[in-house]
Structure 1
Amino acid sequence: MATYLVAGGTGFLGRHVLPLILDRDASAEIHVLVRRASVARLEALVDSMPGGERVHPLIGDLTEPGLGLGSAPAADHVLHLGAIYDLTAGDEQAATNVDGTRSVIALARELDATLHHVSSIAVAGDHEGPFRETDFDLGQSFPTPYHRTKFEAEKLVRDAEGLRTRIYRPAAVVGSSVTGEMDKIDGPYYLFPAIAALAKLPAALPVAVPRIGATNVVPVDYIAAAVVELMTAPGRDGQTFHLVNPRPQPVREIYAALAEAAGAPHPAIGLPGELVRPFLTPTPDSALDAGRKAVLGALGIPPVLVENLTLPTVFDDRDTREALRGTGIEVPPFASYAGRLWSYWRENLDPDRARRPHPAGPLVGRHVVITGASSGIGRSSAIATARKGAKVILLARRTAELDAVVAEIRAAGGEAYGYPCDITDDESVEHTVKAVLAEHDHVDMLVNNAGRSIRRGLYHSTDRFHDFERTMAVNYFGAVRLVLAFLPQMRERRFGHIVNISSAGVQGATPRFAAYVASKSALDGFTDVAASETLSDGITFTTIHMPLVETPMIAPTGRYNIGPITSPEKAAAMVVRALIERPKRIDVPTGTLGELGHVFAPAVKDRVMHQMYRMFPDSPAAKGTSTDDATPAPRRTPEPRHHTSSVLGRAARKVGRLVPGTHW
């Protein structure tokens, strides 16, 4: 019976090595070094492994002196997989890659065990030309802290006296060639989003790929199988093994295989590498280098990755291939498993996967929060959005009305959930947001519909400052409160869309609505700034400048409302359009006209608005001469639209959309 002590057993490579050891030796016992906080993770990992009961946690820490161990069980083999594999990491990785290795060496010596050290081809640094398995210090330099720490760690192992050692140098590790599984974005995976972007182009479109050199990648299952085979093979102490692709892999070849899997254009011609070399390497010109980094940053590619994308070194693995002869363990061609790597990344690792719409429809499965959902625009929007397949999460103060809307949607086959919430209260919003995220995991879209309208002229408002406070509390602070609450999880998922219901009155500066228009204007300003900050995280905003809509909110002003009134159903259609198309804003012609008047004829516009102010006085409620708010205006039945007016309306909308930024 052999006993193994494994450092890094819960890591990506470790998760593939453990089941192979258990399968190879039915009597093997494995002790895995884990932090106390990671014991449950280890137990969950081995629970599904045949023989998993032979895997035991050993509480310790690779970064602690003496590994944080009081005592260690006897072991025949110490397998050191624990390390930081990250080109973008800085000098902090020395604590794990170097100091941790020093502690593992001491433990292996104490146990009189064979030390199996998983190093990396990074030890070759910037060496040009062949690098044999017996080579080590050839005077190479190290382009990153990662390269240097891997060299220093291996040097400790090679210099250790009185210790049986075997060293393994994997190339760049990618996912399993069988399942495509990978645990994180690293190495070549940083290039996948760029390939996904190219996949939006016609596949038949020829592209030119520069001849910039070759790299070397191998799947994790090959490395795991080779390590276990070589670790248990007799007579291999003191040897070093290159776990690499036998021949360098041109970057053009890697791209072609992934492009085939992604449906992206294939490379048709090659360009001289010198054309893009300045883009791939740092330049002394600070302005050019800043521009290079900005472009790479926009693509989500760390500059250090492209600087080390190709290898000047050719790794000789003849000793490894000879040792594995007859075992059936070989590096598969990259093209044979590139499709599985791509599929797994697309479904599990693509940082923008939350942005992809459901094949059945753009709102199917989306989690949409709608405020003010118990009546009016909110109620109609909830019903319309649920019909499109969204899960609607409804917020409102009035519980009974909210429950009725939820029941109505569910009766029609939709999915709806109601949460009583006062958006003007910090504690209420905090409690509601926590409940929503706990019960629904995430929110894709937010419709800030809840609002408060007050129609009252300034002369009747001089002793009513609370009017301005009330409208700001709901229309501005309430909306902003919810945006800020949901923003972190939207950023984490790299997707979110927020629809803010504003008013055409903001564009026209409608008289007697100073308190209301000011609060909506504040929200518009907040939205414009927020949209500029969140764009790269996939979080977008739509502002809908709504016309007057027949809702309970306008009932107190009754017949004193100015202009045509839109139905809640038409307003809901605008909301659904905002959720699906996600334009910057949606306006109505009257609002756009008011905006243009403000820009091109501000004095004329003021005179027109003043005449409207004089023609339509304050309601009795606004004047304070009635104990009732007002007699609600009778519900208007929309007149049937004639075909001619319908055609003209569509034509007007098309003309309006020719104006940049205008969506009618």
Structure 2
Amino acid sequence: MIAIKRKIMEIAGALVYPTISLTPEITKEHFLGKWVLVTGASHGIGRALSEKLISAGANVFLIARSEEDLHHLSAKAKQMGSCAEYCAIDLRDREKLELLCQKLRETLPRLDYFFCNAGKSIHRKINDAQDRLHDYDRTMDLNYRSLVALSLAILPALKASKGHIIYSSSVSTLYPMAPGWSAYHSSKSAANTWCETANSEFAPLDICVQIAYLPLVHTAMSDVNEQYQHLPAYTPADAANILLKLAIRKNKSYKPWWAKLSAPIAHIFAPIIQLYYKRLP
């Protein structure tokens, strides 16, 4: 019986999380010699994305908190003959973020791709956050405000190269909002709205703004939640391939196939779902 259950889980996982293939040759064809900015570059999805871009011969500007990891990635890029810059920073620090924005204005005359991948997740019910307003400040600063600040700073560089902004969002924002995620969903939804607006306004500038509504990815951030640790999910390398393929194909967004089908239905039945949420402890 246990073996049967495992097999069913494997099949279900393969259906929900189909293989995301992208050959190094195709990646190199599209990103060789391009200037790419990546946030959250030292760990998880951002690390996998940065390594793929470096292997493809892209010129990179890497942003994250871990200077040691950024230095290693930058050195690897330079060894391969590419240009590489990095900045070790906590993007929630507004003063340091402003200095970084000024540096980007001066350093990047052209930019082909901006992968905004840095993010913070937090699960806490509102009633348990009465003395934790900083939860909302920190989550909003990283998931939303840093996206806007960096995008405004690099806008001239994106104009010059008719570039792309690719934002890593969450598939959960496509569904009725679940309890416990008010800070996270508020910040991601705000970023989604900004990206959709920017895509309309930037169209005359030939700048494309894209949103990746990513499903569960096993990273150090997501696996803090014990409920997620044993669920089927993508690897950081899979998620990186999703982001790269989205940038290559120039679609407005990426959504898992099952989200395209189920999200509209979920909103139709939102009143019933909300009743269920109200019964949760």
TM-score range, shorter chain: 0.7 to 0.9
Correspondence for 1:500: 167
Aligned CA distance change for structure 1 residues 426 and 444 (closer, same or farther; 3 Å): farther
Q: Secondary structure at the match of 1:488?
A: helix
- Cross-structure match for 1:23: none
Aligned residue number for residue 65 of structure 2: 397
What is the Cα-based RMSD across aligned positions, in Å? 2.5
- 1:453 matched to 2:114: no
Q: Partner of 1:499: helix, strand, or coil?
A: strand
Deviations, residues 479-508 of structure 1 (Å, cap 9, x unaligned) = 1111111113323x2612100111011112
Q: How far apart, CA to CA, are the structure 2 residues paired with 1:413 and 1:466? A: 43
Aligned residue number for residue 254 of structure 2: 586
**Match runs of 1:31-42 below 5 Å:** none
Match of 1:543 in 2: 211
Structure 1 residues 506, 484: CA separation in 2 closer, same or farther (over 3 Å shift)? same
- Match of residue 606, structure 1, among 270, 274, 280: 274
User: Which residue pairs with 2:47 in the alignment?
Assistant: 379
In structure 1, C-alpha distance between the alignment counterparts of 2:276 and 2:245, rounded to whole Å:
32
CA contact (8 A) 1:504 1:590 kept: no
What SS is found at the alignment partner of 2:121? coil
Distance 2:181 2:229 in 1: 11
Cα distance between partner residues in 2 of 1:590 and 1:562: 20
**Greater Rg, structure 1 or structure 2?**
1
Question: Which amino acid is 2:52 matched to?
Answer: A
CA change 1:534–1:440 in 2 (3 A) is closer
Question: Aligned equivalents of 2:83 and 2:157: distance in 1?
Answer: 22
**CA displacement, residues 363-411 of structure 1 (integer Å, 9 cap, x when unaligned):** 2221110001010111111111223332121011221122123234455
Distance 2:276 2:77 in 1: 44
- Look up the equivalent residue of 2:163 and give its one-letter code: G
What are the residue-to-residue correspondences of 1:200-349 with 2, within 5 Å? none
SS where residue 361 of structure 1 aligns?
helix
Q: Does 2:251 match 1:577?
A: no
Alignment CA distance shift 1:558-1:490 (3 Å): same
- Deviation, structure 1 residue 535: 0.2
Q: Secondary structure at the match of 2:31?
A: coil
Cα distance in structure 1, aligned partners of 2:178 and 2:123: 10
- Distance, in Å, in 2 between the alignment partners of 1:579 and 1:451 is 19
Structure 2 residue ranges without an equivalent (≥5):
1-27
Aligned residues: 253
| Higher RCO (CA < 8 A, seq sep 6+) | 2
- The 8 Å contact of residues 507 and 592 in structure 1, kept in 2 or not, is answered as no
Name the CA distance, whole Å, in 2 between partners of 1:511 and 1:467. 15
Matching residue of 2:226: 558
TM-score by length of 1: 0.36
Corresponding letter in the other structure for 2:169: S
Compared CA separation, residues 595 and 441, structure 1 to 2 (3 A): same
Question: Are the structure 2 counterparts of residues 594 and 460 from structure 1 closer, same or farther at C-alpha, using a change threshold of 3 Å?
Answer: farther
Contact kept in structure 2, 1:448 and 1:500, CA below 8 Å: yes
**Contact 2:110–2:161 at 8 Å: present in 1 too?**
no
Contact 1:455 1:513 survives alignment (8 Å): yes
**1:437 & 1:465 partners in 2: Cα distance?**
32
Inter-CA distance 592–518: structure 2 relative to 1 (3 Å threshold): farther
Task: State whether residues 368 and 443 of structure 1, in contact with CA within 8 Å, keep that contact through their aligned partners in structure 2.
Answer: yes
C-alpha distance in structure 2 between counterparts of 1:507 and 1:462, whole Å? 27
Gaps of 5+ in 1: 1-359, 615-664
Comparing both structures, which one devotes a greater share of its residues to helix? 2
Letter matched to residue 368 of structure 1: V
Quote the offset at 1:607 in angstroms: 4.6
Which residue of 2 is the match for residue 567 of structure 1?
Answer: 235
Q: C-alpha deviations, 1:2-38, integer Å up to 9, x for none?
A: xxxxxxxxxxxxxxxxxxxxxxxxxxxxxxxxxxxxx
Of the candidates 471, 483, 487, which is equivalent to residue 139 of structure 2?
471
Q: Against the structure 1 CA distance between its residues 413 and 513, is the aligned structure 2 distance closer, same or farther, given a 3 Å change threshold?
A: farther
Runs (4+) off by over 4 Å: 408-415, 560-563, 607-611
For the residue of structure 2 that corresponds to 1:552, the secondary structure is coil
The amino acid of 1:474's aligned partner reads L
* 1:394 partner SS: strand
User: Could you tell me whether the CA contact under 8 Å between 2:39 and 2:63 is conserved in 1?
Assistant: yes
**Contact persistence 2:78–2:84 (CA under 8 A):** yes
**Equivalent residue for 2:7?**
none
The reply on whether 1:422 has 2:90 as its aligned counterpart is yes
**1:588 deviation in Å?**
1.6
* CA separation of 1:602 and 1:406: change in aligned 2, threshold 3 A: same
Change (3 A) 1:466 1:445: same
State the 1:563 CA deviation.
4.4
Report SS of the residue matched to 2:38: strand
Q: Distance in 1 between matches of 2:30 and 2:235?
A: 25
Query: Hey, what's the Cα distance between the residues in 2 that align with 1:369 and 1:411?
Result: 19
Q: Secondary structure at the match of 2:84?
A: strand
- In the alignment, the residues of structure 2 paired with residue 550 and residue 586 of structure 1 have an alpha-carbon distance, to the nearest angstrom, of 18
Distance 1:416 1:522, change over 3 A: same
